[in-house]
Amino acid sequence: MKTTRHNRRPIRIWIPVLPVLLVLSPLIVLAVGVAAVACLVYRINMLRALGSGWRIVSALPGTRLDVEHGRTAVLVTIS
């Protein structure tokens, strides 16, 4: 994540992935369970849904998200 101040150098904020995954792991397990139930309810092949989700996550590196509001600008880059 990169925050830009008006007429100044950008501030870089690095977010470590492993601690974030450890903190969010209960939510990830819950989301997988909900997705599995949704696949059963809507009669979707779970392996195909898992493969599609993996392709989406694999396509994320290189994604840039620019948000500007007033004098504040935030650039999020997934690498």
Radius of gyration of the chain (CA): 18
Which residues, 6+ apart, have CB-to-CB distance to 23 below 8 Å? Answer: none
Report the candidate in 16, 54, 17 with the shortest Cα–Cα distance to residue 35: 54
Give the model confidence (pLDDT) of 52-68 as tens digits: 999 999 999 999 989 88
Give the model confidence (pLDDT) of 18-62 as tens digits: 999 999 999 999 999 999 999 999 999 999 999 999 999 999 999
Q: State the Cα–Cα distance between residues 40 and 2, nearest whole angstrom.
A: 41
State pTM to two decimals. Answer: 0.61
Domain boundaries, the chain: 2-77
Q: Which residues pair with 12 in a beta bridge?
A: 2
